[in-house]
Amino acid sequence: MSVKTTAYINLTLAMVLVGSSVVAGKVMVAELPIFLASAMRFVLALTILIPLLYTREGGFPHISRRSWLMLAIQSLCGSFLFTILLLYGLTLTGPASAGIITATTPACMGIIAWLFLKNRPANQTTAGIALSVLGVLVINTAQNTDGVSGSNPMLGNLLVLGAVVFESLFLLLRKTIPEPLSPLAVSAIISGFGLFWFLPMGAYEACTSDLSAISATGWLTVIYYGIFVTVLAYLLWFAGITKVPASTAGIFTAIMPISTVVLSTLILAEPIGWPQLTGCGFVLGGIMLISRK
């Protein structure tokens, strides 16, 4: 099997797992408090990542204090605020809609870079951003016409959109760290800071929640989130992205909303209406335009 084929497989599997995180998150928040579940997810991830880091790379890398600070801010945006907004959003809206909205991350990154970094996008990128935004608008404006689940879909979708903003900041902040860091090192450091942010409220929820009421499915979901979504998806993505051009890797992000929609239908019996299908089509088109050179 060629290096390129292996990279394509890694990127595909990574995006399937990322898409499944929305479905797993929907199940997880139905049984566990959000801060406790997230803290446990990072504890599990660190029990895997830290031994791997010491075995393969001899331990944590030597980086400046400024880089440690930027990694802490990265984790605050990508591990903490993204997770909170996404999981709380999932308590109010359907997972299919949430998954499609999270796929607008490339468009959101383009908007942030345009507004704050003064990086004017090319016409093709602008069209891709416009298509992605149109997809989100379609989902929001027609959400209540097709019986899609969610007690307050509009608010839930806005929370998920806020999660996308912080995820975009997380990805853009990576460029502020000058030292070369391996995917394994970054994963371990970000997960460590993630546990730091979630631990105080997570410990409080552990003391005030009835843990005996949590079913085996709830615990298995936390395990899945920690091992497959937090560790495996991240390592697969970086194993693949180093072997192909960035524009090619960007196209594979289109797999994420498809994975979420399919898994939402198969696992959660989520009804998929024309707003989700139409919005997904616009978002996929936007991703293709943004990813092309």
Reported as a pLDDT band with limits 50, 70 and 90, residue 247 is low
- Per DSSP, the residues of 110-132 read HHHHHHHS--PPPHHHHHHHHHH
CA distance 111 to 105: 10
114-143 mean pLDDT: 73
Reported as a pLDDT band with limits 50, 70 and 90, residue 115 is confident
Question: Which tokens sit at 201?
Answer: 């409220």
What single DSSP character describes residue 253? T
Is the confidence at residue 251, as pLDDT, over 90? no
The pTM (predicted TM-score) of the whole model is 0.83
φ, ψ dihedrals at 286, nearest 5°: -65, -40
186-202 mean pLDDT: 93
Compare 118 and 98 and report the one with higher pLDDT: 98
pLDDT of residue 138: 76
CA distance 293 to 280: 22
How many CA within 13 A on the CB side of residue 194? Answer: 30
Is the confidence at residue 192, as pLDDT, over 60? yes
Residue listed under structure tokens 């579940």? 37
238-252 mean pLDDT: 71
- Mean pLDDT, all residues of the chain: 84
